């Protein structure tokens, strides 16, 4: 899964069914303010400083 160059994204939801992502999934998506994701996937992602991460239970 890759979201390169998604400049207009503000919020990203990555469902639990996604099993793997690249660490640079948000490259070029500097406007993202919130990511909703499982803890396992979140550990693999390099987040920008201003991104709020919410975990899926």
Report pLDDT digits (tens) over 38-52. Answer: 999 999 988 888 899
Distances (CA, A) of 10 to 6, 19, 30, 35: 9, 22, 9, 9
Task: Give the tokens for residue 3.
Answer: 């979201």
Q: Which domain holds residue 34?
A: 1-57
3-state helix, strand, coil in the chain (%, to 5): 5, 20, 75
* Count of domains observed in the chain: 1
Residues facing residue 11 across a β-bridge: 34
Q: What's the pLDDT score for residue 38?
A: 94
Q: What is the H or E stretch that residue 42 is in? A: helix 39-42
Task: Between 8 and 17, name the one with better pLDDT.
Answer: 17
Residue with tokens 């400083």: 49
Please state the rounded mean pLDDT for residues 9-37.
87
């Amino acid at each position: 899964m890759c979201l390169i160059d998604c400049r207009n994204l503000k919020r990203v939801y990555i469902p639990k069914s996604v099993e793997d992502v690249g660490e640079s999934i948000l490259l070029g998506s500097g406007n993202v303010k919130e990511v909703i994701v499982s803890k396992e996937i979140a550990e693999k992602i390099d987040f920008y400083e201003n991104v709020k991460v919410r975990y899926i239970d």
